[in-house]
Amino acid sequence: MKAVIACAVVLVYFTAVGRPDASQAAKPITVTATPASARPGDLVVLTIVTSTPVESVRVRAFDRDLPSFAINKTTFSVLVGIDLAVVPGTYRIAIESGAARAMFSLLVTARKFATRTLNVDPAFVNPPPSAVPRIQREAKELEGLWQSSMSPKLWEGAFVAPVPQPANSAFGTRTILNGEPKSPHSGADFGSPTGTPIKAPNAGRVVLADSLYYTGNTIVIDHGLGLFSLFAHLSEIGVHAEDMVKTGEVVGAVGATGRVTGPHLHWSVRVNGARVDPVSLLQVLGPGRN
């Protein structure tokens, strides 16, 4: 696991009109990004420290308003997900606190993704017309979940891996199914045998527990503030929608349902709509990291 490097930048804030005002002194705010630069699929945590107590801070990045959560009256954290499709470059993050505004620059560097070739049941590559309405309905339901989190912060402490086996399939891998290019892999696969207990990586609320066409038996946990975990291809689902779960609680078992070539756990993470590598989540918010 690579080391995480933080970089602190002191930003001098201006009034709402963007210019120094002699009647209203500008106040410095320290912003720390962990890691200091990122790649597509990475999770970045911004820590914002104000010189005086404030009620809240507002953050906008990648054309999204991102929720913050207070550590204390002068310290706030924000999760910034770098989506799989983000083009390398320098991106500006707008931060506001009261009448003060500033911009923070985040460097996104290039990331090389592997390519894999798989052979699966032809029905999953080119589903029959009768399955199309179901597939479209399920895709719309999932997209609605990613965009609709109104939950407060539900997770507590460090995130943990859901199974003991390591990830064996890289996030972002470009997949060719039965000779046809498909969407890039938006999660991490863990080579766990059938029946391996799956544990909640952190606390949250179950918002989906059902069988889906492509992902088979599927569970989605809302950890709050737009952070979700999705577990796919389960042999058993051990929770129901609206259940509250705790870190380490068993929610299901590894299987081979849906579009798969064998038993394994697929874990996807969404952060305010961005597709984020679960391995990055564990690096930044795992044991000893938060």
Q: What is the CATH number of the domain that holds 46?
A: 2.60.40.1930
The domain of 102 spans 7-108
| Residue 200 and residue 128 share a domain | yes
Give the whole-angstrom CA distance, residue 282 versus residue 183.
24
The number of folded domains in the chain is 2
Q: Categorize the per-residue pLDDT at 205 as very low, low, confident or very high, splitting at 50, 70 and 90.
A: very high
Q: What is the mean pLDDT of residues 5-23?
A: 36
Of 84, 108, 132, which residue sits at a domain end?
Answer: 108
Which candidate, 146, 157, 200, 95, places its Cα nearest to that of 290? 157
- Which residues does 258 contact at the CB level (< 8 Å), separation at least 6? 124, 212, 213, 214, 215, 216, 217, 218, 232, 233
pLDDT value for 124: 67
Q: What is the CATH number of the domain that holds 163?
A: 2.70.70.10
Of 108, 129, 164, which residue sits at a domain end?
Answer: 108
| Residue 200 and residue 68 share a domain | no
pLDDT value for 5: 37
pLDDT value for 123: 65
Q: Categorize the per-residue pLDDT at 52 as very low, low, confident or very high, splitting at 50, 70 and 90.
A: confident
| Residue 255 and residue 184 share a domain | yes
Helix (H, G, I), strand (E, B) or coil at 283: helix
| Residue 83 and residue 216 share a domain | no
Helix (H, G, I), strand (E, B) or coil at 145: helix
Instruction: Please state whether beta strands 89-97 and 100-108 pair in parallel, antiparallel, or not at all (unpaired).
Output: antiparallel
- Asked if residue 9 has pLDDT above 80, the reply is no
Of 74, 92, 108, which residue sits at a domain end?
Answer: 108
Query: Percent of the chain beyond pLDDT 70?
Result: 88
Give the whole-angstrom CA distance, residue 242 versus residue 250.
15
